[in-house]
Amino acid sequence: MADRRQLYVEMRAQDLDSIRLSTYRTACKLRFVQKKCNLHLVDIWNVIEAFRENGLNTMHLSAELAVARLEVVLSTILYQLNKRMPTTHQISVEQSISLLLNFLLAAYDPEGHGKISVFVMKIALATICGGKILDKLRYIFSQISDPAGIMVPSQFDQFLREVLKLPMAVFEGPSFGYTEQAARSCFAQQKKVSLNTFLDTLMSDPSPQCLVWLPLMHRLANVENVFHPVECSYCHTESMMGFRYRCQQCHNYQLCQDCFWRGHASGSHSNQHQMKEYTSWKSPAKKLSHVLSKSLSCASSREPLHPMFPETPEKPLNLAHIVDTWPPRPVNLANDYSFSHSMPTSGNPYSTKNLLESSNHQDEEHSLIARYAARLAADAAAQEQRDPTDLLYSLDTNKQQRQLIAELESKNREILQEIQRLRLQHEEASQPPPDKGQQNPTLLAELRHLRQRKDELEQRMSTLQESRRELMVQLEQLMMLLKTQGPGSPRSSPSHTVNRPIPTPIHSDSAGTTPTHTPQDSLMGVGGDVQEAFAQGPRRNLRNDLLIAADSITNTMSSLVKELNSEGGSETDSLLDSDFGRCDLMASTSSDHFFTYKPRPVSTAEEESYENNLERQLEDELKLEELVKHRQETDETCMLTLQQ
């Protein structure tokens, strides 16, 4: 076990007492103790973990720990630290424990009772260990607040009592000793102090006077390894480390922290001059840009002192209990930051290890970024043109696209089915009553059939008309012959005329035969009544035309017969009388009478049931056909008579 005085002997050798400013002096002394005991390598979370391992988190704060128990806790902390340290940079755990234990006993058990309370243990180690001040203060607050997250004033007072024993232990009691006034000055008017208020107060600038050394100790640690490439105007050292001070009156008068803290001055400079503290060094160019950006930005770029925590936590922020579930936390990057300042960078294996770890992490991150960038590049290349190198990627894309198309297709099918279903519903809703709906198709079919039938009949009618026209042409020629022959030679030319072959259409009654020339053209030479009967007016009624024509033929025939009778012999009188009597009868009687007495040869039309108009029209047309047939027979008879 090291000499109880060893730590103080070494500290005195540092000539820290020559520092004129008590805050810096106190901070420097405590920083020295911290580093001497290797506590600067221990994070507050490591300390909390060690407390948990030794069951301090379940003990009452006022419970007292014997020195042996105290030693166990300290050895837990320091042996755990050695496990995290590289083998080449192991600390002397025994010596560290001895120094730390002697310091704690000197600070908290000056009368040698051999006992320290759990609360004291927690506050002292949490204050003097490494790590971030924010974490430290949060842990301390958890020890002095109630379950609702409100600080208990008496416990804060107790905290101040114990924490200020640390400056007293390094002989700074006169400056930072506990007073009731000091405790009240921190949170004078506040009734309820939450964690945020507590942090606001203790981390403010300036912080409460009694605790001003605590944030300074952390600042000290942070700038410990900051190098300033300028020469100290007093000691002329060229390796200025830590804080740098610049006189605001003397041109380019700069002091290292050792010279400034001790009040050194040279030349025209006085230690009464206002000095500015720098924690970093900037090149003149950088400084200018910094000044410019500062003057250009209207908004204050001041960062908050600490992150804001919930005002009323749902459960008390008792980290001593919370850590039960927490994994042992290694020293984080923030600690690494502070440690990097507390040791020479080149020779700090701990920092190197962390750097390696972080560089591994960075490598992983870099490879991820690289992969992502490569994929983006491949994407762009694939869009521009399909490159063989992107085959794998494009295959993958094709697969995805096919999958997408399949999905879209199935969706489309679903939509179509839905549309079909809706359409059917709509049709059902908008359909007329079933009896009418079923009738419609039948009626339409029937109508279609009737129209077809009508077309056929019209064609047939036109054929018949053509036949009749030819017949009439023959009649016309016959009449002309009779007129030109005169009474003298009645029998010479008729033989010639009769020998002429009768055109075939006269005998043909087939419906399929169509006229090869228009009736109008073929009426050339047909005069008078006949031509008039066949003249094609616009939308003229065919039936009426036929009837008129029939009448005109009858009239013509009558006149022919009369002429024949007036000049022919008496031997044919009986026959002609009977024949022409019938002809006269036909001409004189109404068509209705005539139509009814002849049987209808076409029976197919009768089987169909027609609508009234259609049926009547059809019947009329069929009757006309009969009439024409009959006329034809009559004409033949006439011609035979003429031949005779």
**8 A C-beta contact, residue 627 and residue 553:** no
- Please give the structure tokens belonging to residue 179: 């007073």
Residue 214 or 232: the one with the smaller Cβ distance to Zn ion is 232
As a whole number of Å, the CA-based R_g of the chain is: 66
**Taking contact as CB under 5 A, which single stretch among the options 198-206, 240-248, 375-383, 465-473 is the one that binds Zn ion?**
240-248
**Taking contact as CB under 5 A, which single stretch among the options 33-41, 98-106, 250-258, 365-373 is the one that binds Zn ion?**
250-258
Minimum gap (Å) between residue 348 Cβ and Zn ion: 25
Residue 279 or 541: the one with the smaller Cβ distance to Zn ion is 279
Minimum gap (Å) between residue 175 Cβ and Zn ion: 24
Choosing from 234, 245, 350, 610, the residue that interacts with Zn ion (CB under 5 A) is 234
**8 A C-beta contact, residue 7 and residue 105:** no
Residue 198 or 260: the one with the smaller Cβ distance to Zn ion is 260
Instruction: Give CA–CA dist 260/232, Å, rounded.
Output: 10
Neighbours of 140 (CB within 10 A): 22
**Is 11 a binder of Zn ion (CB under 5 A)?**
no
Minimum gap (Å) between residue 97 Cβ and Zn ion: 36
- Please give the structure tokens belonging to residue 576: 């002609």
Minimum gap (Å) between residue 75 Cβ and Zn ion: 40
> What are the φ and ψ backbone dihedral angles of 395, each rounded to 5 degrees?
-60, -45
- Please give the structure tokens belonging to residue 322: 């919370």
Instruction: Give CA–CA dist 164/212, Å, rounded.
Output: 11
Residue 28 or 259: the one with the smaller Cβ distance to Zn ion is 259
Minimum gap (Å) between residue 273 Cβ and Zn ion: 4
**Is 247 a binder of Zn ion (CB under 5 A)?**
yes
- For residue 228, the 8-state DSSP code is E
Query: Which residues in the 256-295 window bind Zn ion by CB under 5 A?
Result: 256, 259, 269, 273
**8 A C-beta contact, residue 151 and residue 187:** yes
Query: Which residues in the 336-355 window bind Zn ion by CB under 5 A?
Result: none
DSSP letters spanning 249-281: SSTT-EEEHHHHHTT---TT--TTS-EEEESS-
Residue 211 or 275: the one with the smaller Cβ distance to Zn ion is 275
**Is 211 a binder of Zn ion (CB under 5 A)?**
no
Minimum gap (Å) between residue 226 Cβ and Zn ion: 15
Residue 268 or 401: the one with the smaller Cβ distance to Zn ion is 268
- Please give the structure tokens belonging to residue 83: 């496990």
**Is 250 a binder of Zn ion (CB under 5 A)?**
yes
Query: Which residues in the 40-79 window bind Zn ion by CB under 5 A?
Result: none
Minimum gap (Å) between residue 283 Cβ and Zn ion: 21
Residue 252 or 383: the one with the smaller Cβ distance to Zn ion is 252
Size of the site for Zn ion (CB under 5 A): 11
**8 A C-beta contact, residue 557 and residue 583:** yes
**Which residues, listed in sequence order, are joined to residue 256 by a DSSP beta bridge?**
244
**8 A C-beta contact, residue 166 and residue 128:** yes
User: How far out from the chain centre does Cα 424 lie?
Assistant: 35
170 contact partners, CB below 8 Å, separation of at least 6: 11, 26, 29, 30, 33
> What are the φ and ψ backbone dihedral angles of 570, each rounded to 5 degrees?
-90, -15
Query: Which residues in the 462-481 window bind Zn ion by CB under 5 A?
Result: none
Residue 232 or 618: the one with the smaller Cβ distance to Zn ion is 232
Residue 247 or 533: the one with the smaller Cβ distance to Zn ion is 247
- Please give the structure tokens belonging to residue 109: 């058990």
**8 A C-beta contact, residue 491 and residue 483:** no
**Taking contact as CB under 5 A, which single stretch among the options 29-37, 229-237, 303-311, 576-584 is the one that binds Zn ion?**
229-237
Residue 269 or 453: the one with the smaller Cβ distance to Zn ion is 269
Residue 142 or 225: the one with the smaller Cβ distance to Zn ion is 225
Instruction: Give CA–CA dist 304/571, Å, rounded.
Output: 150
Choosing from 134, 235, 382, 639, the residue that interacts with Zn ion (CB under 5 A) is 235
**Is 249 a binder of Zn ion (CB under 5 A)?**
yes
Minimum gap (Å) between residue 270 Cβ and Zn ion: 6
CB contact burial 348-378 (16+ within 10 A = b; e otherwise): bebbebbeeeeeeeeeeeeeeeeeeeeeeeb
Minimum gap (Å) between residue 278 Cβ and Zn ion: 14
Minimum gap (Å) between residue 241 Cβ and Zn ion: 11
Minimum gap (Å) between residue 261 Cβ and Zn ion: 10
Site residues, Zn ion (CB under 5 A) = 232, 234-235, 247, 249-250, 253, 256, 259, 269, 273
